[in-house]
Amino acid sequence: MFSTAALTVASLLASQASAVLMHNGVAVTPQMGWDNWNAFGCDVSEDLLLGTANRMVELGLRDVGYYYIVLDDCWSDGRYPNGTLKPDFTKFPNGMAQVADRIHALGLGFGMYSDAGKYTCGQYAGSLGYEQLDANTFAEWGVDYLKYDNCYNEGQSGTANISYARYDRMSQALNETGRQILYSMCNWGQDHPWDWAYLIANSWRATGDIYDSFDRPDVRCPCSEEQGFDCAFPGFHCSVMNIINKVTWFIHRSQPGGWNDLDMLEVGNGGQTDDEYKIHMTMWAALKSPLIMGTDIRSLDANAYTIYTNPAILALSQDTAGASAQRRWRYYVPSTDMNGAGEIQMWAGNLAQGDYVMILLNAANQDMTMNATLADVFLDQGGAISAEAKSNWDVYDLWANRMPNATANMILDTNSTVGTMNGTSYLYNATAQSYADGIANNDTLLMGTHVGTWQAGAQSTWSATVPRHGVMAYRLRPQGAPTMRKRDEL
């Protein structure tokens, strides 16, 4: 009976702050930030990081919660004679500590990258065998976040205990430094990290690498969906739908302090439609993936900006219950696209304070009228016989209040959110007031737009027309006092 952790922790968190297993105190909700890889690969530099960090402040991205600036692979130039990692001074002429300082000065956290192997994926020096030395170096530099990759690992994988031992060494080394460093495991889901990584890491990659496609299959992401929980070759070039459908089986293993990582966001990189990017963002939030922007912040367009900053979606991500939505049903449909894919899905999950989220995902090749029943939404509460299905619910549309492009363009053009933050209702300042408090205060930015009442009744149906490759996402709030669940798990 291993399924109750998330809820238990959520309950514990209400009363005791130290309840998160991974005792480093970070990632109590899924981490948010930016990483250069998806947009820049190895083309890294001090300028890129600091320029991005500055603009994240200017655009309000920091204040809506994107905290970590993560420098990915290709930053090093081997090791000093004493073994210490040496930065590439061409790219980082002032060294890493100064980068960290300047990022910190902006109110942001600094993330770096290494690899649990002989080399990084880009074939720079890896940390296997250098765990404590490198952890110390990162701590000295002021690093707040470590992404830890899996390339060139000398064959140290194949069963959970082999992978656990390898990744645990860095976990212990980071703890040993005394510095609070978020530990982001990147082993692509090998050896089922959702079974064991929670004890040692704040997040763990759950699949092969993402690429900027909604549902195109690629030979380099070969495991079938059914192999999602036992994939011998995670690969890369995995589409958004591929990742969603693979993590479905084990996504419930996320919980405060330790999250399934669905990989960095592609929003803004041009390979998907606006509706597809909305699916991408919505599902990453509902499934409690870390939200790491993966595009060029300095040339962000309005569509991407308004997706990344939608307060109602970010509140979903940062909900303190920390419980992933679950897929309630899925149907294949005849309307398939050029990739041969066509399906619709309904997802639901519980949020803090008795709220719920309900998502209608349309991956068919045409607009679809989709229907959900309370019995399906509240399956885990008892379905048709649950108290929840006998209540009325207020329904809030999480995308209805998305910032208009005109407003976004004003911000992007002026590099300033001052007016917006103060005078409009499209950005939420989570630095000023947490998402949890905002929800507790019924902040309308976070609740979304009220669009109706869902009447009680097991077969009572919510119906919506969802655009082709699009999504509708709702917060459900009980009318009257929320039902208290007397136990964790039906």
**Region 289-328 residues binding a second copy, contact defined as CB under 8 A:** 326-327
Of 306 and 386, nearer to a second copy (C-beta) is 386
Catalytic annotation present for 115? no
CB of 82 to a second copy, least distance (A): 22
Instruction: Answer yes or no whether residue 483 interacts with a second copy by CB under 8 A.
Output: no
Q: Please choose, out of 38-46, 351-359, 423-431, 461-469, the segment that lies near a second copy by the rule CB under 8 A.
A: 38-46
107 to 48, 67, 100, 104, 430: CA distances (angstroms): 17, 8, 11, 5, 13
Q: Are 398 and 374 in contact (CB under 8 A)?
A: no
Residue of the chain from 79, 86, 104, 118 that contacts a second copy (CB under 8 A) = 118
Alpha-carbon distance of 364 to 473, in angstroms, equals 17
What is the SS3 assignment for 87? strand
Instruction: Answer yes or no whether residue 158 interacts with a second copy by CB under 8 A.
Output: yes
Q: Please choose, out of 92-100, 114-122, 138-146, 427-435, the segment that lies near a second copy by the rule CB under 8 A.
A: 114-122
CB of 117 to a second copy, least distance (A): 8
Of 47 and 489, nearer to a second copy (C-beta) is 489
Q: Which of residues 40-59 bind a second copy (CB under 8 A)?
A: 40-43
Alpha-carbon distance of 354 to 255, in angstroms, equals 17
Q: Which of 209, 215, 376, 380 is catalytic?
A: 209
Residue of the chain from 14, 83, 84, 199 that contacts a second copy (CB under 8 A) = 199
Q: Which of residues 372-431 bind a second copy (CB under 8 A)?
A: 379, 382-383, 385
How many chain residues bind a second copy (CB under 8 A)? 85
**To which residue do tokens 């982001």 refer?**
184
Instruction: Answer yes or no whether residue 157 interacts with a second copy by CB under 8 A.
Output: yes
Residue of the chain from 84, 123, 441, 459 that contacts a second copy (CB under 8 A) = 123
Of 158 and 419, nearer to a second copy (C-beta) is 158
CB of 211 to a second copy, least distance (A): 6
Alpha-carbon distance of 79 to 66, in angstroms, equals 31
Instruction: Answer yes or no whether residue 477 interacts with a second copy by CB under 8 A.
Output: no
Instruction: Answer yes or no whether residue 211 interacts with a second copy by CB under 8 A.
Output: yes
Alpha-carbon distance of 481 to 227, in angstroms, equals 42
Residue of the chain from 34, 138, 188, 277 that contacts a second copy (CB under 8 A) = 188
Dihedral of the CA atoms 326, 250, 304, 91 (nearest 10)? 160
CB of 11 to a second copy, least distance (A): 8
Long-range contacts of 166-171, Cβ-Cβ distance < 8 Å, separation of 24 or more: 166/116, 166/128, 167/116, 167/193, 167/197, 167/200, 167/201, 168/200, 169/116, 169/131, 170/114, 170/116, 170/127, 170/131, 170/134, 170/135, 170/146, 171/200, 171/201
Q: Which of residues 218-277 bind a second copy (CB under 8 A)?
A: 218-220, 222, 224, 226, 228-230, 232-233, 235-237, 248-250, 252, 269-271
Instruction: Answer yes or no whether residue 89 interacts with a second copy by CB under 8 A.
Output: no
Catalytic annotation present for 149? yes
Alpha-carbon distance of 39 to 31, in angstroms, equals 19
Q: Could you tell me where the DSSP H helices lie in 59-205?
A: 95-105, 131-141, 160-177
Q: Can you give the three-state secondary structure of 161-174, one letter per residue?
A: HHHHHHHHHHHHHH
**To which residue do tokens 């569509």 refer?**
303
Neighbours of 232 (CB within 10 A): 10
Instruction: Answer yes or no whether residue 84 interacts with a second copy by CB under 8 A.
Output: no
Instruction: Answer yes or no whether residue 149 interacts with a second copy by CB under 8 A.
Output: yes
Residue of the chain from 47, 89, 172, 195 that contacts a second copy (CB under 8 A) = 195
CB of 196 to a second copy, least distance (A): 4
Alpha-carbon distance of 114 to 24, in angstroms, equals 19
215, 220, 217, 182: which is closest to 201 by C-alpha? 182
Residues assigned a catalytic role: 149, 209
